[in-house]
Amino acid sequence: MIDLGFQPKQQRALDIALDGPASVIGVGGGRGAAKSRLAHQVAITLMIEWPGCSGCIAMRNYDQVRKYHIEPMIRDFPVLDDYYARANAHIKLPVGNATSQLDFSYAESMPDVERRFRSGNYWFIIVDQAEQFTGAEIREMRKACRRKGGGRAVLILLFNMGGAGIQDLRKWFYTKEYNEGEDPNDYAFIHVFPWDNVEWVRAALTEDGLSPRDYYAWTDAQRKEYAATRGEYTRQLASDDPAIRARDWESSWESLEGAYFGRVFDRQSTMIGPDTVASIQKPWDKRWISQDWGKGHFCPTQWHSMSTLSPHDAKLILGWETNRPLRVIITYRERIVSEQTSTQVGQMIVRETPVDERALIKAAYLSPDAFGERDSPMTIADNQNAELRRGGMALWQPADTERPGGWGLMHSLLWNTKSHGQTGDTVWLISVECSELLSAIPVLMRDPKNIDVVLKTDMGQAKIEQDVSECARYGLKSQLGTVAKPFAVVVQEAVQAVFDSTAGDDSNKMTAANMMYLKMQADRKKKPRFSRQY
């Protein structure tokens, strides 16, 4: 017998899954609302209630599936270990005369989604951290949610309030915007909050002589207040910076408007696989690394490269239509450690950089604090440089940490990527191997007091999304400087403005426009050219 112990909103999700009428169930809200646990409880129950069924729990990458689902399910429900096939990553559970199967799957891109789900016949699919998937990817997965004979199948989407696909989730479950022919009754939403999860206050309840039953008998406002003052974890969420608190604690849909990259980050355009990285990069391309040092916090290191794609190659490799060459920045590798010495981090960088790649690394940008901070008689930078020198790699230099320009640069590059190079000829692509960076970008919030920068939250709390995004900012800003508007665009705009403002017939206008063009070309030749300005 498996004791599942449903919380009230978990039970509500199960009831809808079993009895309908909705076939797409959204469970969304703040952090720590027991959404992953819900996936385990519902999956096990459906396997038992629907003997012989096939189900799936999916996330963006395998590490997430293993960390948040495979290992916790086996740990919390040890009886399942006897039925878990590690080689195939699935559980086969005998139920009466039938066997129900639960697959653990992942998909890092749309091609992955198509390959893994296009031929699927799942009675239920549970997508955890669904905000990391695009609306198109989720719709493709839904097509694999089907039962022979036309029986009812369900898709359950568990998500936080932020991410690449959150705007599509918002349309389905909040503003109720559907495609032509879709039935609104197919969609149901359960709004969850951190204070819905009794586990965060269980110790406090015991101390006060109360039970979980007492807790769930309270009003929503009473539980919120209790969790905000008595839960160790929930107290942190309730006292975070306003923009982050709105998203993670209040579970507010409106908090999405504060996402810094919300309108420019297109995961499908930005994310590329290893094969695409290899197709773009050339041996002569410049490469560099960046790092946001941290011992108590996360310490991310990223590897970047800069290539040029002709219009032909842009079409062939990326499928983009462009009439000019593209400068392509690729962040192609990330490694994140914590609680390691500077010497260990330096050794890790050398170890993770292939031998034939080390000489190609021409620059290295490190957060400036590492040039003064010490974890030995020498500084952090000195210790790491000693290891980099042994590995034949470029040595650290202080990164350009100017924040408005750095965040603005990232914003511009992502906008160019989203437009497939139509708004600017320098684009930024990110490998699927940089999963933390891809997850971080869409959840970064705009500082309401300074809309030009990302909100810098409490320095006392380690937040991986801030550390990896700052690492990227250091790498891009230090190497590229500020990406200016292309000269050809400047000329075109100036010439058009002269043409439009000149009196007379078209002949006069053309003469004035040509004079402006010749003057700008002559002025440009007089000015020094800098390699870091584009």
**From 1.10.1040.10, 3.40.50.300, 3.40.605.10, 3.10.180.10, which CATH number describes the 8-192 domain?**
3.40.50.300
Which residues are CB-neighbours of 364 under 8 A, at least 6 positions away? 288, 289, 290, 291, 388, 393, 394, 395, 396, 397
Rounded to an integer, the average pLDDT of 65-74 is: 94
Predicted local confidence at residue 134, as pLDDT: 85
Bridge partners of residue 46, in order along the sequence: none
Check whether 461 has a pLDDT greater than 70.
no
267 in Cβ contact with 166 (< 8 Å):
no
Predicted local confidence at residue 483, as pLDDT: 46
- Please report, for the chain, the start and end positions of each structural domain, with discontinuous segments joined by +: 8-192, 198-254, 267-480, 487-526
pLDDT (tens digit per residue) in 192-240? 999 999 999 999 999 999 999 999 999 999 999 999 999 999 999 999 8
Lowest average pLDDT, out of 2-11, 65-74, 183-192, 414-423, goes to: 2-11
pLDDT (tens digit per residue) in 407-457? 999 999 999 999 999 999 999 999 999 999 998 898 888 887 787 888 876
Q: How, if at all, do strands 24-29 and 187-192 pair?
A: parallel
Predicted local confidence at residue 484, as pLDDT: 46
pLDDT band at residue 495 under the 50/70/90 scheme: low
Predicted local confidence at residue 490, as pLDDT: 58
Predicted local confidence at residue 528, as pLDDT: 38
Distance CA 28, CA 193 (A): 8
Bridge partners of residue 305, in order along the sequence: 287, 330
Predicted local confidence at residue 342, as pLDDT: 94
Region for 129 from its dihedrals, namely left if φ exceeds 0, alpha if ψ lies in -120 to 50, beta otherwise:
left
pLDDT band at residue 533 under the 50/70/90 scheme: very low
Check whether 520 has a pLDDT greater than 60.
yes
pLDDT band at residue 106 under the 50/70/90 scheme: very high
DSSP category for residue 58: E
Distance CA 473, CA 149 (A): 53
Predicted local confidence at residue 358, as pLDDT: 96
Lowest average pLDDT, out of 273-277, 283-287, 374-378, 528-532, goes to: 528-532
Check whether 371 has a pLDDT greater than 90.
yes
Q: Which is higher by pLDDT, 49 or 263?
A: 49
Predicted local confidence at residue 494, as pLDDT: 67
Average pLDDT value over all residues in the chain: 89
391 in Cβ contact with 406 (< 8 Å):
no
pLDDT band at residue 243 under the 50/70/90 scheme: confident
pLDDT (tens digit per residue) in 295-313? 767 899 999 999 999 999 9
Rounded to an integer, the average pLDDT of 7-36 is: 94
Predicted local confidence at residue 408, as pLDDT: 92
Check whether 401 has a pLDDT greater than 80.
yes
Alpha-carbon distances, residue 431 vs 20, 97, 334, 439 (angstroms): 39, 46, 9, 12
Distance CA 485, CA 489 (A): 7
Which residues are CB-neighbours of 59 under 8 A, at least 6 positions away? 65, 68, 69, 106, 127, 128, 129, 132
Q: Which is higher by pLDDT, 470 or 461?
A: 470
**What's the CATH code, domain 267-480?**
3.30.420.280
Predicted local confidence at residue 493, as pLDDT: 61
Rounded to an integer, the average pLDDT of 467-476 is: 96
Predicted local confidence at residue 457, as pLDDT: 62
Q: How, if at all, do strands 396-398 and 299-309 pair?
A: unpaired
Predicted local confidence at residue 183, as pLDDT: 92
